[in-house]
Amino acid sequence: MSWELSTEHLDFRATCKSFVDREVRPLVAEAEANKAFPVDLMKRFGAAGLLGLTTPEELGGSGNDSLAVAILSEELARASGGIAVTALVSAYMAGPHIARHGTAAQQERWVGALCDGEAIAAIAVTEPQAGSDVAGMTSTAKRTENGWVLNGRKMFITNAGLAGVIIVGARTSTDRHTGVTLFLVEKGTPGLAFGNPLSKMGWHSSDTREVLLDDVHVGADDVLGTEGRGFQQIMEGFQLERIALAGMGLGHAAESLDLAKAYTRDREAFGAPLNHLQTIRHKLAIMEIELDSARLMTHQSALRLDANHPEAFKTVAQAKYLAAIAANRIVDDAVQLFGGAGFVEETPVAMHYRDARILRIGGGTDEIQLEILTKGMAT
Ligand SMILES: Cc1cc2nc3c(=O)[nH]c(=O)nc-3n(C[C@H](O)[C@H](O)[C@H](O)COP(=O)(O)OP(=O)(O)OC[C@H]3O[C@@H](n4cnc5c(N)ncnc54)[C@H](O)[C@@H]3O)c2cc1C
């Protein structure tokens, strides 16, 4: 047993870091101000091999592991939550559904393009009346002579305005858990429409919209996976998604901690740098303890997921919960240590503070992770 990253993972982290410093950081201020993802960046992610980490080599990926996704997520979120989530949703939250469950034709059409960053994917599960309660979705897919017709509304869909393909969950029968099926819906399909980008508290450069399905006809071969197994496929997909989101929490926390260490070293008050005060140094130490413990659990959850460990599901839920909460505490402490400067919108710690908040909600709220962990306790 080793608690250290392998040489390969350390090298991969260095690769991610230099990519982020070179390609991502210079774009962040403009992306935040314009509230728009710099779309050309997606191909550069692809060229650097950062979008196909968990995709098998024969499908155009690198057959790497979930720990690499956690490391990438951390390094990306250090620079920007909005940019990070755009890439991560396409590559590790939506895309893997096609790599895992797609037919040869679906894989041929999309998987290589997603790995290369030539196409962007989205996944549309949440509805205005059904978020945590995934099985409560009411969008419908009715069989036609040569396929299906989809109707309904999806809410808060990341990448909706950028995506070439959207994975849509819809009800093919009334049973809560065996009545959901996933479909591939291509951009431009008649009846597929979008709301305006939502103006959000954080993730400013990420595109989030309502998706409207009004008599959207798709073919019989646009079913993704097995009819009636959509709920199970979504739950499977949540595992890597939660590791990526936990990784993002680590990134916001790690960057904020570094910024707070530098600031308290340079800022003087009462005739000395802030970090000469024991109370300030202790706060920094506590922030680091919280970050390191969240990172350990996130990495353990990634290793357990790939090893099919019997407790992988539980560890992923614990990691998502812990990393999201730790990140929120750490970014809040960082803002506090910056004083008034931390409250100014363009300050990096203010961005991390805004971006970290969604991590306690998206991909399954804190409360849903606790539900997963306590299922069966009352019996
Ligand atoms: C910026 C952003 C991006 C998103 N991207 C996507 C996306 O790409 N695709 C997608 O499908 N969805 C996406 N979502 C939706 C997200 O997954 C949901 O918002 C989330 O799952 C919560 O659902 P809800 O908002 O309907 O809240 P609700 O489910 O209505 O929950 C409201 C509150 O009730 C609590 N609650 C609900 N059920 C229980 C329970 N059983 N026990 C205890 N407490 C409970 C919740 O924890 C929460 O605190 C995104 C959301 C946001 C804000």
Q: What is the CATH number of the domain that holds 102?
A: 1.10.540.10
Q: Are residues 26 and 80 in the same domain?
A: yes
C-alpha 361 to ligand 1 mean position (Å):
6
Q: Are residues 55 and 160 in the same domain?
A: no
Q: Which of 82, 101, 120 is the last residue of a domain?
A: 120
State the Cα–Cα distance between residues 198 and 187, nearest whole angstrom. 19
Q: Which of 61, 92, 120 is the last residue of a domain?
A: 120
Q: Is residue 359 part of a domain?
A: yes
Phi, psi of 147 (to 5 degrees): 170, -130
Q: Are residues 42 and 166 in the same domain?
A: no
Q: What is residue 2's predicted lDDT score, i.e. its pLDDT?
A: 81
254-287 burial, b at 16+ Cβ within 10 Å, e below that, comes to bbbbebbbebbeeeeeeeeebbeeeebeebbeeb
Q: What is residue 317's predicted lDDT score, i.e. its pLDDT?
A: 98
Atom of ligand 1 nearest to the CA of 125: 11
Q: Per-residue pLDDT tens for 92-129? A: 999 999 999 999 999 999 999 999 999 999 999 999 99
What stretch of H or E contains 79? helix 66-79
C-alpha 304 to ligand 1 mean position (Å):
26
Q: What is residue 1's predicted lDDT score, i.e. its pLDDT?
A: 75
Q: Per-residue pLDDT tens for 67-81? A: 999 999 999 999 999
**Nearest CA residue ID for atom 37, ligand 1:** 132
Q: Are residues 18 and 109 in the same domain?
A: yes
Q: Is residue 208 part of a domain?
A: yes
Q: Which of 228, 243, 270 is the last residue of a domain?
A: 228
Q: Is residue 1 part of a domain?
A: no
C-alpha 278 to ligand 1 mean position (Å):
40
Atom of ligand 1 nearest to the CA of 169: 11
Pair of tokens at residue 135: 């099985």
Residue 339: CB atoms within 10 A of its CB come to: 12
Q: Are residues 101 and 27 in the same domain?
A: yes
Q: What is residue 3's predicted lDDT score, i.e. its pLDDT?
A: 87
**Which parts of the chain sit beneath pLDDT 50?**
none
Q: What is residue 139's predicted lDDT score, i.e. its pLDDT?
A: 98
What stretch of H or E contains 110? helix 104-116
What's the domain count of the chain? 3
C-alpha 114 to ligand 1 mean position (Å):
26
**Nearest CA residue ID for atom 51, ligand 1:** 156
Cα dist from 139 to 127, 191, 215, whole Å: 8, 14, 11
State the Cα–Cα distance between residues 66 and 242, nearest whole angstrom. 11
Measured from CB, residues less than 6 Å from any atom of ligand 1 are 89, 122-126, 131-132, 156-158, 200, 203, 208, 358, 361-365, 367-368, 371
Q: Is residue 2 part of a domain?
A: no
